[in-house]
Amino acid sequence: MSNPLVEFKRVAKRFGDFVAVKSMDLSIDPGEFIAIMGPSGCGKTTTLRMLAGLDKPTEGSIYIDGQLMNDVRPHERDTPLVWQSLALFPFLNVRENVEFGLKMRNQDAAVRREKAMDWLDRLGVAEFAGRNVETLSGGQRQRVALARSLVTEPRLLLLDEPLSALDAHLVIRMQSVLTKLQRELGITFVYVTHSQSEAFAMADRVVIMSDGEVAQTAVPRDIYREPANRFVAEFVGRNNIVSGKVSAIEARRVSVESAMGQFSVIADEGRIPAAGADITFVIAADLVEISRTPGDAENTVACSLISEEFIGSVVTLFLETADGDELKVQLQERELVTLDHTSGGTFFLSWQSASAHMLPQ
Instruction: Give the CA distances from residue 294 to residues 62, 298, 334, in Å, rounded to whole numbers and listed in that order.
Output: 56, 10, 21
Q: How far is the CB of 77 from other proteins (least distance, A)?
A: 8
Beta strands in the chain (DSSP E): 6-15, 18-28, 33-37, 59-64, 67-68, 81-82, 156-160, 188-193, 205-210, 213-218, 239-250, 253-258, 261-266, 278-284, 289-291, 299-311, 314-320, 326-332, 347-351, 357-359
According to the binding rule CB under 8 A, does residue 90 interact with other proteins?
yes
Bridge partner list, 305: 319
Bridge partner list, 287: none
CA triplet 150, 154, 157: central angle to 5 degrees? 70
Q: Which listed range, 22-30, 87-95, 166-174, 290-298, lies at the site for other proteins (CB under 8 A)?
A: 87-95
Q: How far is the CB of 203 from other proteins (least distance, A)?
A: 22
Distance of alpha carbon 24 from alpha carbon 42, whole angstroms: 12
Site string for other proteins, 137-156 (x = CB under 8 A): -----------xx--x----
Closer to other proteins by CB, 93 or 196: give it.
Answer: 93
Bridge partner list, 265: 254
According to the binding rule CB under 8 A, does residue 105 interact with other proteins?
yes
The site that binds other proteins (CB under 8 A) totals a number of residues, namely 29
Q: How far is the CB of 52 from other proteins (least distance, A)?
A: 6
Q: How far is the CB of 57 from other proteins (least distance, A)?
A: 17
List 91, 251, 312, 323, residue binding other proteins (CB under 8 A): 91
Q: How far is the CB of 84 from other proteins (least distance, A)?
A: 9
Site string for other proteins, 19-38 (x = CB under 8 A): --------------------
Bridge partner list, 62: 8
List 24, 28, 81, 207, residue binding other proteins (CB under 8 A): 81
| CB contact at 8 A, 70 and 62 | yes
Length of the chain (residues): 361
Site string for other proteins, 152-191 (x = CB under 8 A): x---------------------------------------
Q: Which listed range, 128-136, 192-200, 222-230, 238-246, lies at the site for other proteins (CB under 8 A)?
A: 128-136
| CB contact at 8 A, 20 and 46 | yes
Q: In what order do the strands lie in the sheet with 205-210?
A: 81-82, 156-160, 188-193, 33-37, 205-210, 213-218
User: Taking the C-alpha atoms of 252, 258, 260 and 265 in order, what is their torsion angle to the nearest 10 degrees?
Assistant: -10
Q: How far is the CB of 314 from other proteins (least distance, A)?
A: 37
**Strand 33-37 relative to strand 188-193: parallel, antiparallel, unpaired?**
parallel
List 14, 122, 131, 292, residue binding other proteins (CB under 8 A): 131
According to the binding rule CB under 8 A, does residue 271 interact with other proteins?
no
Residues that bind other proteins (CB under 8 A): 52, 54, 73-75, 78-81, 83, 85, 87, 89-93, 100-101, 104-105, 130-132, 134-135, 148-149, 152
